[in-house]
Structure 1
Amino acid sequence: MNSITPKELAEKIKKNEEVYILDVRAEEKYNNYHINEENINSINLEKSLIFALEEGNNQPLPSLPINKEIIVTCTTGNSAKKCSAILAENNYHVTLLEGGITAWKEFKDGN
């Protein structure tokens, strides 16, 4: 599984590359704080929707592009890792944000 560090993500954002970020935390946590930069397409789908794919619910997730890299995150990376594996099995091009939102905040606060 591909992964990206907060620093690598920040560099990708600085290059003005279009970035898709899937945040699998609960909507309340997402609304409280999420990665929000100019060229980011931020998507919030709770992990239970992703887990349903593993259980045989093969309904497509219309908000996720099939042909673009999707960076998956959660609070610390554990749920995102499982979600990334499920999405990869369903032909999505996913990359895990190492350390999740917690690591992203620490990186941003340090810079």
Structure 2
Amino acid sequence: MTINKITPKELHERLQGEEKLVLLDVRDKEKYNQFHIEESCNVPKSVIFGLKESGEITLQSLPKGQEMIVTCTTGNSATKCAQILDAHNYQVTVLEGGITAWKAYISSLRDE
């Protein structure tokens, strides 16, 4: 099973367009509240890991027919969560390098 990835640059370009993206931030609430990509929703990884254990979908609000971009701090937890969501037939893509790479990319835009 291969999970799609998107770079911060590609995500930024897509966010500038008309496309409505679903951004899923799987970090804990405290980290999410400190900084997150605008328009993202917070579903902590513990909730998604619970799907694997219970086998039940408790995330009825997440769209199955629409791509979700999954983020975390560095991309590792997002990849694990994406694998679980993919197994439950969600369309998922992981932000390469996570929020750390996103912040660095946005910072580089400001420096130009």
Is 2:111 the counterpart of 1:109?
no
- Comparing 48-57 with 5-14, greater Cα deviation is found at 48-57
Query: 1: CA distance between counterparts of 2:68 and 2:97?
Result: 16
| TM score, norm. by length of structure 2 | 0.91
SS in 1 for 2:47: helix
| TM score, norm. by length of structure 1 | 0.92
- Comparing 81-90 with 53-62, greater Cα deviation is found at 53-62
Unmatched runs of 5 consecutive residues or more in structure 1: none
Name the % identity.
Answer: 55
Unmatched runs of 5 consecutive residues or more in structure 2: none
Q: Are 1:43 and 1:63, in contact at CA under 8 Å, matched by a contact in 2?
A: no
RMSD: 1.0
Which runs of structure 2 are paired with 1:31-70 in the superposition (5 Å)? 31-36=33-38, 40=39, 42-70=40-68
What's the offset of the Cα at 1:102? Answer: 0.2
The size of the alignment, in residue pairs, is: 107
SS in 1 for 2:51: helix
1:6-58 per-position Cα deviation (integer Å, ceiling 9, x unaligned): 0000110111210111000010110110001xxx4x21011010001111340
2:33 aligned partner, one-letter code:
N
4+ aligned runs moved over 2 Å, structure 1: none
Higher strand content, 1 or 2: 1
